[in-house]
Structure 1
Amino acid sequence: MYITNRQNDPPSGVVKLVGSRQVLCRDEGEIDAYWANLSHVPDSEQCGWCKDRFGISWQIIPENMADLTRRPEQIGVMMGQKKIVIEELENA
Structure 2
Amino acid sequence: MGLQQKITPYLWFDGTAKEAADFYVSIFPNSRIITVGHHTEDTPGQTGSVLVVLFELDGVQFGAINGGPMFKLSEASSYLIDCATQEEIDFYWDRLGAGGQYQACGWLKDRFGLSWQVNSSELVEKAHSDPAAGARVMKAMMDMVKIDLAALQQAMEG
| TM-score higher than 0.5 | yes
1:87 aligns to what? 150
- The verdict on how the C-alpha distance between 1:89 and 1:3 changes in structure 2, with shifts beyond 3 A counting, is closer
1:53 aligns to what? 111
Cα RMSD between the aligned structures?
Answer: 2.3
Matches for 1:35-46 after TM superposition, within 5 Å: 35-39=93-97, 40-42=100-102, 45-46=103-104
Residue 78 in structure 1 maps to residue 148 in structure 2 = no
How many residues in Structure 1 have an aligned counterpart in Structure 2? 83
Structure whose CA Rg is larger: 2
Which amino acid in the other structure matches residue 118 of structure 2? Answer: I
Distance of 2:121 and 2:84 partners within structure 1: 6
TM-score (norm: length of structure 2): 0.46
> Identity, % of aligned pairs?
31
TM-score (norm: length of structure 1): 0.75
Which amino acid in the other structure matches residue 49 of structure 1? Answer: W
Structure 1: runs of 5+ lacking an equivalent: 5-11
Structure 1 residues 33-85: Cα deviation after superposition (integer angstroms, max 9, x where no partner): 0000112233xx10011100011000011131222455211111011011111
Which amino acid in the other structure matches residue 76 of structure 1? Answer: K
Higher relative contact order, structure no. (Cα contacts within 8 Å, ≥ 6 residues apart): 1
Structure 2: runs of 5+ lacking an equivalent: 1-10, 15-45, 47-65
Residue 24 in structure 1 maps to residue 24 in structure 2 = no
Distance of 2:145 and 2:127 partners within structure 1: 15
1:46–1:83 contact (8 Å) kept in structure 2 = yes
